[in-house]
Structure 1
Amino acid sequence: MARDFHSDAPLAFPILIGDIGGTNARFWVLADSLAEPQQFPNVRTADFETIDQAIQQEVLDKTSKQPRSAILAVAAPIEGDEIPLTNCDWIVRPRRLIEQLGFSDVLVINDFEAQALAIASLSPDDRMPVGPRTDAPVASRVVLGPGTGLGVAGLVHARDMWFPVPGEGGHVDLGPRSERDLAIFPNIERIEGRVAGEQILCGRGLVNLYRAICKTDGIEPIYNDPADITSHGLSGHNPQAFETLTLFVTYLGRLAGDMALIMMAKGGVYLAGGISQKIIPALKRPEFRAAFEDKAPHTALMRQIPTFIVTHPQAALAGLASYARTPEQFGLATDGRRWRG
């Protein structure tokens, strides 16, 4: 019988690590703390009725290294023994994974905690600086990820350890500052009367912002897909798409700066998620850093905080692997999130 288990003891190798999103699930198996991960093709969540089936057919049936433990990062809050994913029909049931798939130990954390674990040790090859600073001091950090939604997490450095801090920072208020903002914001679709960061700074948020700009300009929108808005915004062929992308990186810079101040993130702010990698030319233009630094009376402080785009193709899995190999370097809370047979 599986039971709740709280311990800082390392998980037993081989370890299955998984990054479970609404659309895709990605898996690695670590044979031991020194081995390179065995990687598996991306799994579309819609192709399997349950996560148990996906793990069995796409991992366990295709490797001789049968994992004893599992660490899963999921796009959902972890509360209780059944963890429904936010944007797909899968439900993670750690007790069932133990009883039916043979794991002895299962740890489930939030997906942006995994991103936070990753930014503790990203190499220069896996991050692209935005702005004048290219170093990353060993100090507290923040990661933001505009994608399907807007994920935010912190990473505190203390006592020679990294402590990931999950949260829901994507739902803080985002308000107008400039005259143009004041004209556009009344046309932005709201949630219960307010504009949260995720209403603009994600895929559907791009569409929301684009439509608001078109309405402000008195024209009919012609794009409905975030990818179309992004591509035409980068090319500059469409004025409204170009302004959408310009304001998107401006607002992202403002929110990133707010999070840097909250966390005193002298170790840097990291932009993760699929959108960040797709709009690198826009992020490298002046607007992002200008908005990030525009935090009077702390402008001078903000200029000293580096910002990066995470370019590692599977950063969340890399973060989970770092924890699996060296758990003593991380103050990861396991209470209520670790199950053992």
Structure 2
Amino acid sequence: MAGDDDTVLRFPILIGDIGGTNARFSIVLDANSEAGEPIIVQTASFNTIDEAIRAAVLDRSSVRPNSAVLAVAGPVDSDEIPLTNCPWIVKPKQMFASVGIGDVVVLNDFEAQALAVVALGEEHMEKIGGDAPEPNAGRVVLGPGTGLGVAGLVYALNHWIPVPGEGGHMDIGPRTPRDFEVFPHIEKLDGRISGEQILSGRGLVNAYRAVAKADGKPAPFTKPAEVTAAALAKSDPVSEEALEMFVTCLGRTAGDLAMVFMSRGGVFLTGGIAQKILPALRAGNFRAAFEDKAPHSELMRTMPVYVITHPLAALSGLAAYARNPSLFGVQTAGRRWRV
């Protein structure tokens, strides 16, 4: 294992964004190339990440990557890296033989999302309130998906430095009288309600069931997409309230994180759920909850929020890093394995 931050990676470079449900791969051929055609597979279709790389990437291409930069949903702190919401275990040393890659860097998935904030232009974002971002000011990225991902982004010593974490597991609690009616019915995890218990795909279904239980109403939907579709179509009041609660809680959490990172450079919502619920995010309660942070409401009003609309943002961030690692202050000690 090595941790030389200033050592460039050998091209071609395989990049991979490994989520709880989907794994997305691409190849960056050289320092002047955009990432190649993305390959997207469901994690449930393969027993291991090595199998997925062989079947989805290597068997379909004559290009043989020399290096890999992988972003995984979970903390990276050993030679065997379990994913938080998927049974795969990433074993970089095993990859030397199993997929023929001799240099592997493993990042947190929301580090990749933070890198994407720098890599993507504003044409790939939709702004939801606030003033113009301050250049080189702190930023924060969060995204409800299979779980709730969070990362900070700070500019220091001429580098953008992503700050990964497990912010999706912070506590979240009731605030309004209606919250106090609904929250007792939200499914707990070891006795507590973390952000992920509401702000994720399964969390939206949790909120939907809790609203229904609070009012003694039926809750026939079992999938996040069903709740979202009914809420946006305004065809089911329980779904509408669940999505409204989801958006409000997302605004509160985004505001909390914006204060932690003093995000005058912007708060960025990423992932498929944020893109799908854009109309609900524009409705007003998100921004109101985001700004409702007395005694700092005036400060919060100035902070811009963006929804990243690029469908494969993390791959764009990984490609930017792969092409020129020296632009970013990414610490690879303990997270880079070489033959």
TM-score, with structure 2 as normaliser: 0.96
> Any idea what SS the aligned residue of 1:120 has?
helix
The question of 1:335 aligning with 2:321 is answered: no
Query: How many residues are matched?
Result: 338
Rounded to whole Å, the distance in 2 between the matches of 1:271 and 1:24 is 19
Give the corresponding residue for 1:168: 166
The question of 1:255 aligning with 2:253 is answered: yes
Which residues in structure 2 correspond to 1:90-129 (within 5 Å)?
90-129=88-127
Which residues in structure 2 correspond to 1:13-162 (within 5 Å)?
13-133=11-131, 135=133, 137-162=135-160
Give the corresponding residue for 1:281: 279
**Between 20-29 and 304-313, the greater mean CA deviation after superposition:** 20-29
Give the corresponding residue for 2:316: 318
What are the ranges of 5 or more consecutive residues in structure 1 without an aligned counterpart? none
> Any idea what SS the aligned residue of 1:66 has?
coil
Rounded to whole Å, the distance in 2 between the matches of 1:73 and 1:246 is 31
Q: Answer yes or no: is the 8 Å Cα contact 2:119–2:316 preserved in 1.
A: no
Rounded to whole Å, the distance in 1 between the matches of 2:126 and 2:178 is 30
Q: CA RMSD in A?
A: 1.4
Give the superposition deviation at 1:102: 2.2
- 1:77-114 deviations in Å (ceiling 9; x for gaps): 22221122223332211111113322221101111111
The question of 1:224 aligning with 2:222 is answered: yes
Q: Answer yes or no: is the 8 Å Cα contact 1:40–1:58 preserved in 2.
A: no
Q: Do the aligned partners of residues 49 and 177 (structure 1) sit closer, same or farther apart at CA in structure 2, a change above 3 Å counting?
A: closer
Rounded to whole Å, the distance in 2 between the matches of 1:88 and 1:154 is 24
Rounded to whole Å, the distance in 2 between the matches of 1:136 and 1:229 is 37
Indicate the percent of aligned positions where both proteins have the same amino acid.
Answer: 57
Rounded to whole Å, the distance in 2 between the matches of 1:171 and 1:40 is 30
Give the corresponding residue for 2:3: 6
Rounded to whole Å, the distance in 2 between the matches of 1:100 and 1:220 is 50
Match of 1:299 among 291, 297, 300: 297
> Any idea what SS the aligned residue of 1:19 has?
strand
The amino acid across from 1:207 in the alignment is V
**Between 89-98 and 312-321, the greater mean CA deviation after superposition:** 89-98
Q: Answer yes or no: is the 8 Å Cα contact 1:60–1:66 preserved in 2.
A: yes
Give the corresponding residue for 1:205: 203
> Any idea what SS the aligned residue of 2:319 has?
helix
The amino acid across from 2:317 in the alignment is G
TM-score, with structure 1 as normaliser: 0.95
> Any idea what SS the aligned residue of 2:311 has?
coil
Q: Do the aligned partners of residues 166 and 277 (structure 1) sit closer, same or farther apart at CA in structure 2, a change above 3 Å counting?
A: same
Give the corresponding residue for 1:183: 181
Q: Answer yes or no: is the 8 Å Cα contact 1:188–1:208 preserved in 2.
A: yes
> Any idea what SS the aligned residue of 1:32 has?
coil
Give the superposition deviation at 1:134: 5.5
Rounded to whole Å, the distance in 2 between the matches of 1:99 and 1:265 is 43
Q: Answer yes or no: is the 8 Å Cα contact 1:115–1:315 preserved in 2.
A: yes
What are the ranges of 5 or more consecutive residues in structure 2 without an aligned counterpart? none
Rounded to whole Å, the distance in 2 between the matches of 1:183 and 1:49 is 42
The amino acid across from 2:271 in the alignment is G
Give the superposition deviation at 1:22: 2.3
